[in-house]
Structure 1
């Protein structure tokens, strides 16, 4: 079955592009980006675009070309690209992405919960009339913690993703994205048009692109910009490497990545245009809108959008459209993450049926804590979202092991119709390791927990949601396992195939 798995490939270039967009365009575009753009405005957007070309696109080019060349999953392909001694790095990349996968189904579940809420609003005019921000905040608090309906939806999303992927790449991943991605973009554009048509909506657009020079000296804006770029585009996740392992022999590396990366950023901007004008549309004053946006409310999408649509004719129907789009966006990314896990097990010579069952069980079990507890969810997002910087550094390291110029010529440019300047790629590969390490240090030095390393009693503060200790502990466990089992991993994932 492993040989059959290796022979699977996308039917066309558009199959690869849609899969790449499906991987990249997710809940982060509709949920995380609007919150950050609302909090930091145009300053954040400038840095975010900067990191698209400095960090994300160069790393995605490297990932895609490695997957295209070796036609294996992350651990196997990375080991062959970087060398036997560094198989543990591919293991970390895989586990980091799985850490995100385990809670990402929960984001999809939240989207489905809000589809249900907006459906109730359509059915009940009385409920719509009584809709308030306090009601929505209570609803969010209810579904995000200790809610078994959310747990059930999490399980449903995992099973649905695995069932859709079971048939393989063309019949599963490619077919799903041909429906999801065009539909998703149409829905987001529709919501954006409505938001801008409201009386105060354009003020939100002006605010979104306003620049505060002082924020360029705020470490959190820089780290949020690079992690959002890495998070949203999928740079360092190993997902692009997995997609490329199913690409055709002469697949155009650079063109595909430019379409995917730039397309993802455009989708994020459209989502921001939907959300931020909505805040100004419902706020009692511009000052109130700005105060709310700068609070960095994690539930911005969930507590504002329903209120906006309640204020316009037939808005309850449009609200349902938005949350259907949100759920679809989250699900399109979830299926790519799930495929990475399935591919990992098929590399171990499990047939696709067994690999799919194992993947489903792992995601259901390890995703349960995040589905049940928002604190656990936030901790995992904190740890593995930042972990993407480590994964990105490892991808860059693999390029260095081959020689930057040689890698670009033999891995990236070989079948590319668009050739990026050598200096651009080389500069990115040189600066990204120190950039990544510096941003991690800078982030941790800020101390976003009251006790970032040790509790007041002097104990290692590893169970704090936002402590540095919890980051270091979880990263260290994965890295230690990878190093200890490095030879075994190479034997199983490379030599045995």
Structure 2
């Protein structure tokens, strides 16, 4: 079957950026800025994007473009005969399915809140009513199911039209609209009365705040956010490398996509942080920032109903751009491994994802007693933990090692593919850093994430989950270093 290709370079950049740009840029980045002292956190974040995020992204694009396959089959095609790299495909396959098992639910929340803003539900509402509205939504299983299923139907409907006819065409419109809406919201936010203090907080490092949270915690927070923001590790970006032609080198494209992703994160801060200061709300409010804090801001704002609807429309586009991109990855698994047509894969995958999304939906109501990560946790927390704290860093570790190890694809092959075409070249002198430095940083992020998650939940729980972490690392290094009797 002939591999589809993007219709234009702009299409590739916007679709890939759309995959990277998600709810984390809009929700997590601003509240982490609030938590870690504003501008100092941003500078560290940009530094780690440059030294970690971009090299791993180039690795994924290179594997995809050379193999012309999804992560389900790419390593099998490129690995030396007798090696086991293809066993790591399950990190990507499971990761994409698990991501959509909870991301469709959260995207449904965004769509629901966009609808609620348009009909004026939050107009004139008190803080208590806004908080109650979110709790009411979580407790209403039929409402949650409806919006989750709607997200799945729309997302797979776009994918059914193919790469150029569906994904590229729709995502280009969504992304351009998203960027325009962001600029409008940011301009409105910075001109609010009292917003100046928020802008100063955002752009001037707060040394007292840094001392309060600790420089080590701030560095680790910036490193983690930079690493996870690009959606690298489970092949979500690799698939778009497989649709690229050879006329552009990969480093320049990775930098452009990273710049767009960063622009959205920075603009989100300009939307949220000055607004928080203008209305006396704590910018480091955490996960409640989007669904409780922000609607409270809009209820106090002149023309709040309009700006609220625009904000949640922007969030919906950010969520949908990721949903469509990952759905395409899931569809490609069937096409690459089983030889299915796109039409058949869309139908089967849509039904499967809808069914697999239900535990997350019901985890806030019918199955709220299932708390596998400790008291107060949900099924969404478990699924997010498995993807964000495990599969993304482990998958990135595999990509980097595969591109640098002699028993993998190898540095020479990687460099040749990455530098094919016009544009910025990947520097050959960073080989030792990419081969050893980045894996060390990834393992640090991985193990520190486990420690932070379970250190306050008892010694036995911490020891049990750390054993799981180490076992997964052993699996990776076994696949990377061992031999297999299977034929290549």
Q: TM-score normalised by the shorter chain: which range applies?
A: 0.7 to 0.9
CA distance in 2, matches of 1:490, 1:179: 48
Q: Aligned residue for 1:325?
A: 314
The CA deviation at 1:225 is: 2.6
Q: Aligned residue for 1:54?
A: 51
Q: Aligned residue for 2:419?
A: 413
Tell whether 2:277 aligns with 1:280: yes
CA distance in 1, matches of 2:305, 2:470: 44
Give the SS at the match of 1:293.
Answer: coil
Aligned length: 462
* 1:370 aligns with one of 354, 360, 363: 360
The CA deviation at 1:191 is: 1.0
**1:280-318 alpha-carbon deviations (Å, 9 max, x no partner):** 1111xxxxx4xx333x42020222222222223322111
**1:21-56 alpha-carbon deviations (Å, 9 max, x no partner):** 111112111122112112112333223212211211
Q: Aligned residue for 1:19?
A: 15
The 8 Å contact of residues 188 and 270 in structure 1, kept in 2 or not, is answered as yes
Give the SS at the match of 2:301.
Answer: coil
* 1:38 aligns with one of 8, 28, 34: 34
The 8 Å contact of residues 450 and 465 in structure 2, kept in 1 or not, is answered as no
Q: Aligned residue for 2:96?
A: 97
The CA deviation at 1:216 is: 7.9
1:25-174 equivalence runs, <5 A: 25-40=21-36, 41-83=38-80, 84-121=83-120, 128-129=123-124, 131-174=125-168
Q: Aligned residue for 2:368?
A: none
The CA deviation at 1:64 is: 0.4
The CA deviation at 1:92 is: 1.1
**1:230-255 alpha-carbon deviations (Å, 9 max, x no partner):** 33212223111101111124343122
CA distance in 1, matches of 2:19, 2:322: 4
The 8 Å contact of residues 19 and 174 in structure 1, kept in 2 or not, is answered as yes
Q: Unaligned 5+ residue runs, structure 1?
A: 284-288, 455-460, 462-466
Tell whether 2:383 aligns with 1:380: yes
**1:335-358 alpha-carbon deviations (Å, 9 max, x no partner):** 111111111110121111221122
The 8 Å contact of residues 31 and 286 in structure 2, kept in 1 or not, is answered as yes
The CA deviation at 1:68 is: 0.7
Question: Closer, same or farther in 2 for the Cα pair 1:309/1:190, shift >3 Å?
Answer: same
The 8 Å contact of residues 144 and 373 in structure 1, kept in 2 or not, is answered as no
Higher helix share: 1
CA distance in 1, matches of 2:303, 2:192: 14
Question: Closer, same or farther in 2 for the Cα pair 1:478/1:399, shift >3 Å?
Answer: closer
CA distance in 1, matches of 2:458, 2:389: 15
* 1:204 aligns with one of 198, 207, 231: 198
Question: Closer, same or farther in 2 for the Cα pair 1:447/1:256, shift >3 Å?
Answer: closer
CA distance in 1, matches of 2:127, 2:485: 54
1:75-474 equivalence runs, <5 A: 75-83=72-80, 84-121=83-120, 128-129=123-124, 131-209=125-203, 210-212=205-207, 213-214=210-211, 217=214, 220-283=217-280, 289=281, 292-294=282-284, 296-348=285-337, 349-374=339-364, 375-387=378-390, 388-402=392-406, 405-424=411-430, 426-446=432-452, 448=454, 450-451=456-457, 454=460, 461=461, 469=464
CA distance in 2, matches of 1:218, 1:385: 23
Question: Closer, same or farther in 2 for the Cα pair 1:437/1:318, shift >3 Å?
Answer: same
Q: Unaligned 5+ residue runs, structure 2?
A: 365-377
Give the SS at the match of 1:239.
Answer: coil
CA distance in 1, matches of 2:469, 2:362: 20
The CA deviation at 1:423 is: 3.0
Question: Closer, same or farther in 2 for the Cα pair 1:47/1:145, shift >3 Å?
Answer: farther
TM-score, normalising length: structure 1: 0.85
Give the SS at the match of 2:287.
Answer: coil
Question: Closer, same or farther in 2 for the Cα pair 1:425/1:371, shift >3 Å?
Answer: farther
